[in-house]
Amino acid sequence: METNALDQLRELRAQGGLEAAYDSVAALLGRAEIEDDAVALRRVGRLLAGVDPRRVLARHPATPVVTVAITGQSTVAPVVDPLTAELARHGILLRPVLGDHGAYVHDLTDPAGRFAGAGHDLALCLLDAETVLARVPEVWRPEDVERAADEALRLLADVAAAHAALSGGTLVLNTVPLPRSWSHQLVDHRSRAELGSVWRDFNSRLLRMSATAPGLVVIDLDPLVAEGGPVHDLRLAHYAGARLGTPLLAAYAREAAHLARSLRGATRKCLVLDLDHTLWDGVLAEDGPDGVAAAGTDRGEAFGAFQRVVKQLASQGVLLAVSSKNDRDEAVATLRDHPDMRLRDGDFVRIDADWEPKDGHLLDIAGHLGLGTDALVFVDDSAAECARVRRAVPEAAVVRLDDEPAAHVSRLLRDGWFDRVSLTEDDRDRNRRYRAEEGRRELRLRTGAAEDFLRDLGIEVEVGPPHRHEQARFAQLTQRTNRFNLAGRRMTEAEVSAAASGHDGKLLLAVRSADRFGDSGLVGALLARRTGDALDVENVWLSCRVLARGIEQALLGHALELARASGCTEVRARYVPTPKNGRAADFYPSMGFAEVFRRPGETVFAHDLIMIPAMPAHLRTRSNPAGGGAA
């Protein structure tokens, strides 16, 4: 299948139709299942690297594009092909900007450097052993390496700070493997152990740097080296300055692509699992509850290990659902009562078990949870079921398992569908919130008119600047929100931190909500800038789980009140249509804004602040003892 996919891409390129057909590339690569073939992916990347982004966007303007600045300690161009292919697998077009060889400090810190004005989303700075060892004297001891490592860390911290000041993009560094050719220059084992300790401390401090530097991500290469083999090809390292080898760069490109995807708000939220030969060994309808296993045998233990990993994902906010060809009562009873199961029926927010097609299950699960199908990851061992879901629900990610349960974990984790820059307590609380949503849904069914439902819900709102500990959640909300994202903008944590300082007239507002079923936390955000006597609203975001409850009106109304109180005579706002925010197109007019002008891709509105809409009557304000404002 890999050859077939490559042949199709080659034929499209030969016919000059690759840009015109770019919208089909992700589906083609998904069907080919070439994700485990680094050579094939590199060839795909080489083919796609010749694509003209302008021509692609002219034919497919909704294609997501990520601009990536690439620099480092040594030769970095070889990462472009695998990165192009990895992003293409997720439907994203790469626009690379390459820095000068070995000039990463200049590239990332000089306002007039290679990356100035590039508007990059990501800056990949590939580090290697020379980042430290170039500072070591010709004859050295472990303490010389320790001093060199300290110098390198201080430099990298300065580079990260300078990049954050110059660019709103995310900077990516990486840990550095220790070459055996250096450790074994030391002839005694105690010195080698001391060097190993120094080196690991350098990498540990580098990893911890991301916790205190907004806009910095550090990729740990150790797990990639452990699975992928040697760090470099000896000859290429010496003769071409390529000190990170092709297999390692391919694995690194996959991690970087997952990061780029998450920054674009494409992190998945729900894992939809088959049961037979996926969560347990055996077929329930044929073998009965006593004939299935997730422990007690070699194969059973492999299924148990898979369940343990799924449970770990759920503990970090990944929603779990079941799509199975089984009798529902028997499936639920097996999950509830079988002694082998690490996952129980209560761990799942939805269980669809019947004899209907599984693409229908996915639509039901998405609808029940209030999610788009692009938030789902479907996992099944059946090639036919996976093919059906790919065809009928193309937005869902599909993970095809095979007959070897020992490989289930690696296949599930390989594409990092749930990766994100940081994890918040709001993420960890997601399963509780979705169970609370069940209570709201039941109340809605019992209540007649929508007005009665909203009144009985007892919604409380609080609007004010985000607290420092909420900045990661604020950025996350902007990255993941699609349906109520009025200008299609997303923000990094570094951008949120800069805007929260109030420089350049910036205004950030967060809205938090609670009701009789529990606290929903930070659910909406607004970004604006004061320009003379006007307040320009740059974007408004609202989580889809609280849409149509009046919370968005409370947020914007609060911004209008603040603008009038501060002496503004006008509030302006932009609506930029995206493939998913069409239902929010009338939001500004509904709040008393008048259209000023319209052009392709943008409508500008203005509010004269004479009549500000009142907060919806069913909402109540709540106090904020921590110091934020109230609506």
Give the pLDDT confidence of 522-572 residue by residue, as tens digits. Answer: 999 999 999 999 999 999 999 988 888 999 999 999 999 999 999 999 999
Note the pLDDT of residue 36.
Answer: 63
Q: Residue 281: pLDDT band by 50, 70, 90 thresholds?
A: very high
Note the pLDDT of residue 631.
Answer: 44
Q: How many structural domains comprise the chain?
A: 3
Identify whether residues 368 and 479 lie together within a single domain: no
Compute, in degrees rounded to 10, the torsion defined by CA atoms 129, 132, 136, 142.
Answer: -90
β-partners of residue 606 are: 572, 594
Give the list of residues 6+ apart from residue 263 with CB closer than 8 angstroms, or none: 66, 121, 122, 170, 421, 479, 490, 492
Q: How far apart are CA 297 and CA 315, in angstroms?
A: 27
Identify whether residues 405 and 480 lie together within a single domain: no
Last residue of a domain, one of 248, 263, 278: 263
Note the pLDDT of residue 338.
Answer: 95
CB 436 within 8 A of CB 516: no
Identify whether residues 193 and 279 lie together within a single domain: no
Residue 43 is assigned to a structural domain of this protein: no
Cα separation values, 16 from 10, 308, 618, Å: 10, 48, 58
Question: What average pLDDT does the structure give for the chain?
Answer: 88
CB 558 within 8 A of CB 463: yes
User: Which tokens go with 273?
Assistant: 């699992």
Identify whether residues 256 and 310 lie together within a single domain: no
Greater confidence (356 vs 214) lies with 356
Note the pLDDT of residue 247.
Answer: 83
Please tell me what DSSP assigns to residue 178: P
Q: How far apart are CA 584 and CA 575, in angstroms?
A: 9
Identify whether residues 324 and 241 lie together within a single domain: no
CB 624 within 8 A of CB 631: no
Q: Which residue shows structure tokens 């699975």?
A: 227
Q: How far apart are CA 33 and CA 1, in angstroms?
A: 8
Report for 38-47, 146-155, 468-477: range of highest mean pLDDT: 146-155
β-partners of residue 171 are: 123, 216
Q: How far apart are CA 324 and CA 279, in angstroms?
A: 11
Write out pLDDT tens, residues 346-377: 999 999 999 999 999 999 999 988 888 999 99
Note the pLDDT of residue 117.
Answer: 75
Q: What is the CATH number of the domain that holds 323?
A: 3.40.50.1000
Q: Residue 1: pLDDT band by 50, 70, 90 thresholds?
A: very low
CB 630 within 8 A of CB 465: no
Question: Alpha-carbon torsion 233, 238, 239, 245, what sign?
Answer: positive
Write out pLDDT tens, residues 413-430: 999 999 988 877 777 877
Note the pLDDT of residue 625.
Answer: 39
Last residue of a domain, one of 263, 284, 299: 263
Q: How far apart are CA 205 and CA 220, in angstroms?
A: 12
Greater confidence (27 vs 174) lies with 174
Note the pLDDT of residue 17.
Answer: 81
Helices (H) and strands (E) in the chain, counts: 26, 18
Note the pLDDT of residue 168.
Answer: 72
pLDDT at 160 over 80: yes
How far does the chain reach from its first CA to its final CA, in angstroms?
58
Identify whether residues 346 and 467 lie together within a single domain: no
Q: Residue 503: pLDDT band by 50, 70, 90 thresholds?
A: confident
Residue 293 is assigned to a structural domain of this protein: yes
Residue 576 is assigned to a structural domain of this protein: yes
What domain range is 612 assigned to? 449-621
Q: How far apart are CA 331 and CA 338, in angstroms?
A: 10
pLDDT at 2 over 50: no
Average pLDDT over residues 113-137: 89
User: Which tokens go with 285?
Assistant: 């309808």
Please tell me what DSSP assigns to residue 347: G
59-68, 298-307, 421-430: the lowest-pLDDT one:
421-430
pLDDT at 404 over 90: yes
Give the list of residues 6+ apart from residue 132 with CB closer than 8 angstroms, or none: 145, 148, 149, 152, 176, 199, 202
Greater confidence (22 vs 1) lies with 22
Residue 422 is assigned to a structural domain of this protein: no
pLDDT at 481 over 80: yes
165-169, 195-199, 458-462: the lowest-pLDDT one:
165-169
Residue 17 is assigned to a structural domain of this protein: no
Q: What is the CATH number of the domain that holds 576?
A: 3.40.630.30
Q: How far apart are CA 616 and CA 454, in angstroms?
A: 10
Identify whether residues 487 and 510 lie together within a single domain: yes
Write out pLDDT tens, residues 257-271: 999 998 887 889 999
pLDDT at 624 over 70: no
Instruction: Quickly list DSSP for 61-91.
Output: TT--EEEEEEEESS--GGGHHHHHHHHHHTT
Residue 280 is assigned to a structural domain of this protein: yes
Identify whether residues 303 and 335 lie together within a single domain: yes
Closest CA to 421 of 591, 267, 543: 267
Q: Which residue shows structure tokens 């796609």?
A: 48
Residue 2 is assigned to a structural domain of this protein: no
Identify whether residues 229 and 349 lie together within a single domain: no
Identify whether residues 404 and 465 lie together within a single domain: no
User: How many alpha carbons lie under 13 Å from residue 631 in its C-beta half-sphere?
Assistant: 30
| Diameter over CA atoms, the chain | 83
Q: What is the CATH number of the domain that holds 118?
A: 3.40.50.1110
Q: Residue 335: pLDDT band by 50, 70, 90 thresholds?
A: very high
Instruction: Quickly list DSSP for 453-517.
Output: HHHHHT-EEEEEPPPGGGHHHHHHHHHH--TTBTT-----HHHHHHHHTTGGGEEEEEEEEEETT
pLDDT at 124 over 80: yes
Write out pLDDT tens, residues 566-584: 999 999 999 999 888 988 9
**Strand 216-219 to strand 122-126: parallel, antiparallel, or no bridges (unpaired)?**
unpaired
Last residue of a domain, one of 204, 237, 263: 263
Residue 51 is assigned to a structural domain of this protein: no
Cα separation values, 88 from 45, 83, 354, 518, Å: 8, 8, 35, 41
pLDDT at 235 over 60: no
User: Which tokens go with 294?
Assistant: 């997730």
Greater confidence (88 vs 16) lies with 88
Greater confidence (234 vs 479) lies with 479
Identify whether residues 520 and 598 lie together within a single domain: yes
Identify whether residues 472 and 363 lie together within a single domain: no
pLDDT at 627 over 50: no
User: Which tokens go with 306?
Assistant: 């898979």
Residues in the chain: 631
37-41, 222-226, 443-447, 596-600: the lowest-pLDDT one:
37-41
pLDDT at 31 over 80: no
Q: Hey, which bits of 484-608 come out as E strands?
A: 506-515, 518-531, 534-542, 570-575, 594-599, 602-607
